A and B are shown apart, each in its own frame.
Chain A
């Protein structure tokens, strides 16, 4: 039975020149779990806003075509009528919780409906129970982690007992373990209560396994709609730049090299099973050497021997409110190194890097930048050497044009006009922003604003570049671009430090990894060692990269799992195959 049906739906925002999406015709049936994906700006979020009447009632603009939700024509009924049928969960957990306690927040919608108090109480308790946050009922939203906040948001719409729950990139701000929990909660709602789920996501590795159906949008149109395996394995998905799950990528690589796994896997478990089958099938009687030496790809670590540019010596930091954010951190970063600082929110990552440009001074211990103690110089002096790009570009953009924005720091540092002009031109050029130089930064898309923020820091050519959570809210293509850019900067000799919990991004960049938890360094070293140690990662609320999870499922066959991305895995498998079958693979 259909619950949402659109026919030739086209919508243009009041300020938009072209439609945000056009001629969308879809039918979503009751009980389906639909994954909606596509590059940033493709119209996914806008489409979701139609499902509960935010468009056209809250946003005006021009809506053409037909849309019915739960049997009601969206244009003819007010938003609050849809609230009982369709629940919307948004990207930023912070901006959808209004009340001062969890319980009160979950009750908000029910109170608005004017339900009897006893029924509200009952439904609130039920929703808290189902989402697993009953213990948090009296807490204030700001005391919760992002993952907990997002579960409160889900409980809040769940309490309205909707038939459909639409989630718009609910895990963007979360670490992999919290994201996984969110997906498990919504998958449970789908299975146990038959609630239709529409999930907008970029993180397909984690989300794909729960979906029955995938819809891919690009440029305001639906380009693919079907069963996950088919969609991921299609040529269009690759061209558009959808984040195809690593397991599927491995399948494709192996196939290109002449090894067919039979069917398309979308999770690491499936891939492990299929590989196992192929390996045993090709060499059924031989048995497997358990002491087989797997050649681990060797990374150059020589760089670290060159002279240190950042020295952190037994640093403690306590915030004025008494929170101990760093508890005895020591590390050295050499010139030209590429470092990823990883760990869960609240592990002290951002606090640590804020010491590198003097924004924070240690409570105890000391930090030296090129031999100079940070306590003795101003932030402005240190900033010349250490560029810091903050997570959210909106926290720094304020000028009327992109050009002025990029020149802002140069003026602060007292560069002359001629140099400023040259540097601005250079920075705009390398970040592909030249065409926007006279445009207001506020008119640009999220990805473009992020690039302006990066350009405004790169302009003064700092020796050390720090990027705080650079991949948050970025789609697959943007991440790929960012990765290439960072690698290029690093190759040119810049010291680059990224703070992130995006494990796949790190697995592909392969920097030195520093793992933090509770204000201390858990591990520091080569990514192949750290990212493949599940126990270590769990303490930092991370999970191993998909690729190494595939190998971990084959541990008994002698693979030690020390590969972190699909190319490494495919290489190991093909090598093994050669040994087992004695057959040369092309």
Chain B
């Protein structure tokens, strides 16, 4: 279990999955900006909560919960480090604002994880490549990107097989001091590199055989078209940004300790 589980694309059919990746990316940027803008607990909590419906609609709550669980360790570390440094060097008189501030920073971290995981859980790498392509990035680079994504699971599996094959020949990776342990990775790295080279040669051969580079004006099977949902999200993101800026400039934000009668 790790917080990266929340970044692996999951193929589900949902309105969120069908959104234009460019708009979703804009949304993530807005969330990022707004989360960095505020340091107070209340707006950050609001940011955290208003994204929950999106996760439910996208039907990725299980993966999201997993990534949240995976982030717990990091979150605790952020909280403790902030609390300790603020308590000793922050110049606060009581403990309550220290805790509040540290909590706010922790929630900010979770908001970032949350919005990024909404993006990556619901955007297929294919769509992402397409978004890059239609944003004017050269096709070669987009192709390299999607192919890399395509081969990540293949190479991971291959690395595991190589490790198994060498362990079956008596290689003990966990034994010895640091230097000898690093040296023990040579029998794993060399086959991995050799096979990657072989694989890339075969891939190149297959690409050539399928008319790679036949014309500079390549067509794409898919086109991204903005639909109604995309305009809604676009409007929501812009409004969100505007509203946040307004609040930031003109509305004094109460801290939690002010609201609790002492």
Q: Do A58 and B170 touch across chains, with their CB atoms under 8 A apart?
A: no
Q: Residue A408 at the B interface, CB < 8 A?
A: yes
B141 contacts partner chain A, Cβ-Cβ < 8 Å: no
Interface segment, B31-39, B82-90, B187-195?
B187-195
| B169→A457 contact, CB < 8 A | yes
Q: With A109-B211, A113-B215, A120-B221 as known contacts, state yes or no: A100 contacts B169, CB within 8 Å.
A: no
In the complex, A575 has a CB within 8 A of chain B: no
Residues A398 and B218 in contact in the complex (CB < 8 Å), given A58-B208, A359-B167: no
Contact of B221 among A81, A124, A388 (CB under 8 A): A124
* CB of A112 to closest CB in B, whole Å: 4
Contacts of B190 in A (CB 8 A): 398
Judge whether B221 and A412 touch: CB under 8 Å: no
Residue of A nearest to B222 (CB): A104
Q: Which of A90, A96, A397 contacts B191 (CB 8 A)?
A: A397
Report whether B211 and A94 are in contact in the complex, using a CB–CB cutoff of 8 Å: no
Asked whether B169 lies within 8 Å of A412 as measured between CB atoms, the reply is yes
Instruction: Tell me if B194 and A54 are in contact (CB < 8 A).
Output: no
Within 8 A of A (CB), among B147-187: 147, 149-150, 153-154, 158, 161-162, 164-172, 186-187
What is the distance, in angstroms, from B185's C-beta to the closest C-beta of chain A? 11
Which residues on B sit within 8 Å (CB–CB) of A359? 164, 167-168
Give every chain B residue within 8 A of A413 (Cβ-Cβ): 170
Interface positions, chain A 86-114, Cβ under 8 Å from B, are 87-88, 90, 92, 94-101, 103-104, 107-114
The answer for the CA separation of A359 and B147 in the assembled complex, in Å, is: 31
**A90 to B11, alpha carbons, bound, how many Å?**
29
Chain B proximity mask over A331-368: 1 for CB below 8 Å, otherwise 0: 00000000000000000000000100101000000000
Residue B257 interfacial (CB < 8 Å): no
Residues B154 and A395 in contact, CB atoms below 8 Å apart: no
Q: Mark B108-147, 1 if CB is under 8 A from A, else 0.
A: 0000000000000000111001000000000000010011
Residues of B contacting A112 in the complex (Cβ-Cβ under 8 angstroms): 210-215, 218
The reply to whether A92 and B147 form a contact with Cβ atoms under 8 Å apart is: no
Are A395 and B172 interface neighbours, CB within 8 A? no
- Asked whether any CB of chain B lies closer than 8 Å to the CB of A60, the reply is no
Q: How far is the CA of A79 from the CA of B207 in the complex (A)?
A: 10
- Within the complex, what minimum Cβ distance (angstroms) separates A480 from chain B? 26
Chain B, residue nearest A453 (CB): B165
Question: How far is B217's CA from A396's CA once the two chains are assembled, in angstroms?
Answer: 43
Task: Determine if B221 and A117 form an interchain contact, defined as CB atoms under 8 angstroms apart.
Answer: yes
Contact A108 B210 (CB under 8 A): yes
Q: A58-B205, A98-B146 are in contact. Are A111 and B219 (CB under 8 A)?
A: yes
User: Is B162's CB under 8 angstroms from A114's CB?
Assistant: no
Q: In the complex, what distance in Å separates the CA atom of A96 from the CA atom of B150?
A: 12
**Minimum distance in angstroms from A78 CB to a CB of chain B:** 8
Q: CB-defined interface of B205-233 with A at 8 Å, one 1/0 digit per residue?
A: 11111111111011111110000000000
- Check: A394 CB closer than 8 A to any chain B CB: yes
Contacts A109-B211, A394-B191, A408-B187 given; does A380 touch B218 at CB 8 Å: no
Docked Cα-Cα span, A268 to B192, in Å, equals 43
CB distance B169 to A409 under 8 Å? yes
Chain A residue at minimum C-beta to C-beta distance from B193: A398
A209 on the interface (CB 8 Å rule)? no
List of A residues within 8 angstroms of B149 by Cβ: 100
Task: Give the shortest distance, in Å, between A362 (CB) and chain B (any CB).
Answer: 16
List of B residues within 8 angstroms of A57 by Cβ: 208
Q: 1/0 per residue A56-70: CB within 8 Å of B?
A: 011000000000000
For A111, the chain B residues whose CB sits under 8 A away are: 218-221
Kindly state whether residue A156 has any CB partner on chain B within 8 Å. Answer: yes
Q: Determine if B209 and A395 form an interchain contact, defined as CB atoms under 8 angstroms apart.
A: no
| Residue A383 interfacial (CB < 8 Å) | yes
Binds A, one of B18-26, B46-54, B73-81, B196-204: B196-204
Chain A positions within 8 Å of B206 at CB level: 88, 90, 95-96, 98
Checking A100, A140, A157 against B210 with a beta-carbon cut-off of 8 angstroms, the contacting residue is A157
A95 x B199 contact (CB < 8 A): yes
Q: With A95-B199, A398-B186, A409-B169 in contact, is A160–B153 under 8 Å at CB?
A: no
- A87's nearest neighbour on chain B, judged by CB, is B209
Check B162 against A109 for contact (C-beta < 8 Å): no
How long is the Cα–Cα vector from A81 to B213 in the complex, in angstroms? 10
Instruction: List 4 A-B pairs, minimum CB-CB distance, nearest first.
Output: A412-B170, A83-B211, A398-B190, A80-B214
**Residues of B at under 8 Å CB distance from A?**
11, 124-126, 129, 143, 146-147, 149-150, 153-154, 158, 161-162, 164-172, 186-187, 190-191, 194-195, 198-199, 202-215, 217-223
Q: 24 interchain pairs (CB within 8 A)?
A: A52-B209, A54-B208, A79-B211, A80-B212, A95-B199, A95-B202, A100-B125, A100-B129, A110-B219, A112-B215, A114-B214, A114-B215, A121-B221, A160-B211, A357-B168, A359-B164, A383-B167, A384-B170, A394-B195, A395-B191, A398-B187, A398-B191, A457-B168, A460-B170
